[in-house]
Structure formats: structure tokens, C-alpha cells
Amino acid sequence: MELLNSLLFDYTLRTVALGAATLGIVSGALGSFAVLRRQSLLGDAMSHAALPGVVIAFMLTGSKTPVILLVGAAVAGWLGALLMNGVVRNTRIKEDSALGIILSVFFGFGLMLLTFLQRNPDARQAGLNSFLFGQAATLLISDVIPMAILGTIVLLLVLIFWKEFKLLSFDRDFAASLGYPVAWLDVVLTSLLVLAIVVGLQAVGVVLMSAMVVAPAAAARQWTDRLGVMVFLAALFGAIAGVGGAMISSLGSGLSTGPVVVLVVSGIVLLSLLFAPNRGLVWNWVRQQRDRRKLRLQSVLTNMYYLAEQHDDMAHPHAVTVLQAMNFGQGGVRRSLHVLRERGLVQESSSGFWALTAEGVEEARQLIDSRRAGKGGDR
């Protein structure tokens, strides 16, 4: 409650939360497209590639104004993406290797520049380090406003070209056959991803920003089968993780925001993997158990039918032990019988002896017929 209170009334915390929410929404939305196009790692490469841009922007201007540094980051990230495309298209190096190359070359170069600056007696460069792991607590409202403007532009463009981006992501060749300039659409979508990453760099840092691209989208995919809902959920999860992470890191002194945000978003992913309907692991397990129970009921019922068929009287009672022998290895015969009795399909004529009711006979006959039909219909 106290946290909520300070979220609403504490100026610094509110600024931080706003910034973190913006970055979460934008990276979640754009990340959805990256994940669906199997380009999750592109985000990773581009955020790492942004580091030398930040440092060079500082070296050229001597200014630590976030907007200038972020322009540097965007240019470097974009160059990285472009170079990667060039490597894939013009050499025999495959996409995954190209990603690795661009990531390590750019990031290594950035780190080298950073350590070079640190050896300098000039103290002005202090703070550039926070671009590695992010420092949301230092966000000012003057940082958040450009972030929000940029983020809004990015989201608007996604909305305007929604149909085109969807088609591009689902079936690139078909889009090309319709006459859409898919190479340009690729560039636009990738550029928007770069901008989304840049929006979050200051708060989360270049090393862990990729998690904000991939994780919310991966979690959102678990909950829905519709692109629109997925993008919306990814934005929501991103915002929750951003705000949650920024809040927690601002409580402790010296906690970098990036790692905390990543922990929160990992929690969301874990919950989604486990509990999402249809796709979640727990859901699958429950469904499997239900199917197994249903099968067990059917098998007890049909076995009783086969037994009864051997006698003239369909209501002839049989010992539980016989049924247990027939359902060997499946267990739960007694429990199945009780369930079947509740449905009025069987009755216990004397202790340990069970018989089909008239309804049970009918039900079992239908089951056996449908099974035969199923087999026969298979050509």
C-alpha cells in the first residue's frame, strides 16, 4: 500500500514508473513481431550493438544529454542490423552466426571505448557505465517525455501498417507476390524494433534489453491465439515488468534496474508457461489426467459388457477381481465403478459383485459401435 502511495505521489518514483511502463509497452509490442518472425535474437544483437553508439556520441559531443546518446545508440543499432542483413545476403554465413558476429564485434568495440574513456582523468564520462545494466532511478521527466513521444510514434506506425506487418510476418513470399515491397517493410519493421530498444536502453541497459523484447512476447503467446491480443498482452506484461522492476530497484540502493526487470519478466514467463490455458504445462497435465480417467471409465464399462455378453443375462454380476484382472496395469477399477454408479450405468448387486444397468448396456454398446466405426472409417 505504501508502495502504491509513493507511486502516485512521489515525483521521482512516478517518473521512473512512467519511463519503465513506456519502455515495457513499446518493447513488448515490437517484440511480438520479432518473436513471430523468429528474430528474437535480432533484438539481442541490436541492443548490444547500440553500446558503441552511446560512447561515440558522448566522445563527439562531450555531452551526456540522454537524447544525444540515444541518437547515437539508434544509429549504431540500426547499422548493426543493416550490416547483419548484408552479411547474410552476400556471404555464406548463416543468420545465427551473423548475429553472433555483429553482437560481439559491436559490443566489444563499445566496451573498449568505454574502458579507454575511463582511463582518462576527465571525470565527465562517469555514468556512461549505467548504459550497461540500466539505472531507472536516474530517469528525469525530461528523459521520459522524449521516450514517450518516440514510443507513441513507433506504436502508431505499427497500427497504421498493421495489415502489412501481419502479412509480412506470416507469409513473406505471398506478400511479395501481391506486390508489397517486402525488403522495405523488413527495414521499416526492423527500424521500429531498433527504436523500441533505444527507448528502453537508459532504464534497462544494453545487456538485458533483449529480454524485454523476447520475454513479454513469449509470455503473451501462451495466453492467446490472436495477433492483436498477443501484441496487447505483450505490451501489458512489458509494462508490468518495467514498472515492477523499476520500483523494486529504486527501493534498494545501488540495484541496477536491468537485472531486476529481467527477474520480474522471467517470473511472468514462468507463470505463463505453467498456467496458460491450452498451451500451459499444468493445463496439459490436467487434460491428460482427465483423458486418462475417461479412458479408464470406458474400458471398465466395455469390459463389463464383454463379460455380460458371455452370459444370457446382461445384468449378470461380476466380481471386482475379474474386472481388475481385465484392466490389469491401469488401476482405479473400484473408483471407476463408483463413478459409473453415480451416473446410473452400473450397480453393486452384492458386496464386491457389479452388474451393468440397462442404461449401462446401451452406453457400452454405443461405445463399442463408435470404436468399430472409427477403425473402419480409416480407409
Partner 1 sequence: MTERRFAIEVEDLTLAYQDKPVLWDIDLHVPEGILMAIVGPNGAGKTTLIKTILGLLKPAAGRITIYGKPFVAQRKLVAYVPQRGSVDWDFPTNVLDVVMMGRYGRLGWVKWPGREDRELAMEALRKVGMANFAHRQISQLSGGQQQRTFLARALVQDAQIYFMDEPFQGVDATTERAIIQLLKELRAAGKTVVVVHHDLQTVSEYFDWVTLLNVRRIASGPVSQVFTEENLRLTYGGKVAFLSKTAVSQSTPDTLQPASSGG
Determine the angle formed by the axes of helices 11-36 and 40-61, rounding to 10 degrees.
Answer: 130
Say which DSSP state 124 is in: G
Q: What is the C-alpha separation between 139 and 252, in angstroms, rounded?
A: 16
Check binding of 277 to partner 1 (CB under 8 A).
Answer: no
2 versus 378: smaller Cβ distance to partner 1:
378
Q: For residue 53, what are the contacts with CB-CB under 8 A and spacing of at least 6? A: 72, 73, 74, 75, 76, 77, 79, 110
175 versus 269: smaller Cβ distance to partner 1:
175
Among 61, 97, 142, 177, binds partner 1 (CB under 8 A): 177
CA of residue 104 relative to chain centroid, distance:
25
59 versus 227: smaller Cβ distance to partner 1:
227
Q: What is the C-alpha separation between 73 and 54, in angstroms, rounded?
A: 5
Among 176, 248, 273, 367, binds partner 1 (CB under 8 A): 176
Among 115, 121, 173, 377, binds partner 1 (CB under 8 A): 173
- Phi/psi-derived region of residue 378, left when phi > 0, alpha when psi is between -120 and 50, beta in every other case: alpha
Among 5, 97, 116, 171, binds partner 1 (CB under 8 A): 171
Check binding of 375 to partner 1 (CB under 8 A).
Answer: no
User: For partner 1, which stretch binds (CB under 8 A), given 168-176, 208-216, 264-272, 289-297?
Assistant: 168-176
Check binding of 87 to partner 1 (CB under 8 A).
Answer: no
* Burial annotation 6-21 (CB, 10 A radius, 16+ → b, else e): beeeeeebebbbbbbb
Q: What is the C-alpha separation between 368 and 235, in angstroms, rounded?
A: 50
Check binding of 164 to partner 1 (CB under 8 A).
Answer: yes
Please, which of residues 188-227 interact with partner 1 by CB under 8 A? 221, 224-227
Mark out the alpha helices in the chain (DSSP H runs). Answer: 2-9, 11-36, 40-61, 66-90, 95-119, 130-133, 141-160, 162-170, 172-177, 182-204, 209-223, 227-251, 257-275, 281-309, 320-326, 333-342, 358-376
Among 179, 254, 329, 374, binds partner 1 (CB under 8 A): 179
Please, which of residues 227-266 interact with partner 1 by CB under 8 A? 227, 229-230
Residue with C-alpha cell 498482452?
Answer: 233
Check binding of 178 to partner 1 (CB under 8 A).
Answer: yes
Number of chain residues interacting with partner 1 (CB under 8 A): 28
Question: Per-residue x/- marks for partner 1, 19-38, CB under 8 A?
Answer: -----------------x-x
Residue 160 beta carbon to partner 1: minimum distance, rounded to whole angstroms: 6
Among 112, 153, 160, 286, binds partner 1 (CB under 8 A): 160
Residue 233 beta carbon to partner 1: minimum distance, rounded to whole angstroms: 11
Name the residue among 259, 214, 255 with its Cα closest to residue 39. 214
Q: Which parts of this chain interact with partner 1 (CB under 8 A)?
A: 36, 38, 160-164, 166-167, 169-171, 173-180, 221, 224-227, 229-230, 379
